[in-house]
Each structure stands twice: as C-alpha cells, then as structure tokens.
C-alpha cells in the first residue's frame, strides 16, 4: 500500500473496527525495491491507544490532506492535542469553535505561548508584532470556517466509509454541501469571505483628482 500519510491515517482509524471483527494483524507496506518495509498498524494501535488512533485521520484532513489547504506542520498537528479538540468532530458533532482552537495551536506551532483561540485573534497578535509584516498576515476566522466545514465533510465521509450508505440515516450529503461549489464543471472551495461593512468604507467621488483644498478626501488625509 502507499506510504502516503493519508492512507496511514485512514487505516489507523479503521484498524480498531477491523480488530472487533477478529483481525489480529494489519501491515502497511511502503518503500520500493530493497528499501521496502512494512509498518505494523496493530502495534501502533496498542502503543497509541484507540482515541489518538481514531483522531489521527481528523487532524490529517484538517491540516495536510491532499484535498485541503496545508496548516502548520505534521509535528504540530500531532502535539496540539487533537483528542481534546477533535474526538467527536465530523462524526457526532461539528464544533467549529473547538476545531478553530485546534488549528490556531497547530498554526502557531508546538512551542508557541499564544493565548489566541481564533484566527482573528492570532492575526491581530501577529500584525501588531514588530517582526511581522503584511506578508505574514493570516487567514481570517471566516475563511478558516470554510476550511473547517470542508474538513468536517471529508472526515464524515472517511468515518462512514464502511457503513452501508444505502440506508437513509447514513446516506452521505452531496459534496456541494461540504464547502465546495461547482463552477464550469469544476469543484472549487467556497471563499467564505466576510466583506468589510459598508459603514466602515470611506467613499469619495473625486477619484484622486483633487483640485481644491476643500475636497473631503484631503480633509480626511487620504491623499495628503
């Protein structure tokens, strides 16, 4: 089987289920030629325990899945306590606030001391830092929530992979309900942008062609 992390995380999630059916061992083969090796997933389960094994697929999808945007590093994804934040995410609940807290910790890094719980807060912290420029500006919470909804959709599909989907109660929702939209025959992620309120915009009709000192944009210091 592929050594891809997506395959490993999915098999790790499914292994406890296979064990309830009587499976004793499951191995994942990776590498090629003389470097070919086999990874004993049943031993990984016994060392990690069931909760970390079942949440590995969730942290992988939210932070580094092939269909999703990358967030942080794999090390940060594992050390940011996914069991606490993602244990039931995508299965029995879709707590976007907890998922965002988890992603903030992953993005900030394992050694970060930030107290931010949302990307808006972390964005403010980074933007007011003397060492951070505009090129380091993070995504907003509204954009991150679109990412989380797509992750919840993929997690739900992965967790229900072996369930009979012919039954109405387990039938999967269309992909366009999970944070994607169809455009010209392609599936694109929804932008989830939150436009700036019109009340905060300063609109002027002079289009920067001010010829008098009484122009309102000059008074506001826009083109001074």
Instruction: Tell me the per-residue pLDDT of 14-48, one tens digit each, with 9 for 90 and over.
Output: 888 888 888 888 888 877 778 788 888 888 888 88
**DSSP character for 93?**
B
Kindly provide the b/e burial profile for residues 162-190, where b requires at least 16 CB atoms within 10 angstroms of the residue's own CB: eeeeeeeeeeeeeeeebbbeeeeeeeebe
Instruction: Tell me the per-residue pLDDT of 39-81, one tens digit each, with 9 for 90 and over.
Output: 888 888 888 888 888 888 899 999 988 878 888 888 889 889 9
Asked if 49 and 97 touch (Cβ cutoff 8 Å), the reply is no
* CA dihedral sign, ordered 164, 165, 168, 169: positive
Helix (H, G, I), strand (E, B) or coil at 1: coil
**pTM across the whole model:** 0.72
Asked if 150 and 192 touch (Cβ cutoff 8 Å), the reply is no
């Amino acid at each position: 089987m592929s050594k891809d992390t997506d395959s490993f995380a999915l098999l790790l999630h499914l292994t406890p289920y296979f064990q309830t059916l009587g499976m004793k061992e499951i191995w994942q083969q990776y590498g090629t030629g003389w470097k070919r090796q086999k990874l004993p997933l049943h031993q990984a389960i016994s060392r990690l325990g069931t909760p970390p094994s079942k949440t590995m697929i969730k942290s992988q999808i939210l932070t580094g899945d092939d269909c999703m945007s990358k967030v942080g590093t794999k090390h940060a994804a594992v050390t940011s306590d996914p069991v606490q934040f993602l244990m039931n995410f995508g299965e029995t609940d879709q707590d976007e606030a907890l998922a965002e807290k988890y992603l903030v910790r992953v993005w900030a890094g394992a050694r970060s001391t930030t107290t931010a719980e949302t990307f808006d807060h972390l964005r403010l912290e980074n933007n007011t830092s003397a060492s951070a420029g505009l090129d380091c500006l993070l995504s907003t919470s509204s954009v991150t929530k679109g990412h989380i909804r797509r992750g919840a959709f993929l997690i739900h599909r992965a967790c229900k992979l072996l369930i009979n989907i012919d039954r109405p109660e387990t039938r999967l929702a269309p992909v366009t309900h999970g944070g994607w939209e169809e455009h010209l025959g392609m599936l694109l992620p929804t932008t989830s942008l939150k436009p700036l309120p019109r009340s905060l915009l300063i609109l002027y009709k002079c289009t920067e062609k001010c010829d008098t000192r009484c122009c309102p944009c000059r008074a506001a210091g826009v083109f001074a």
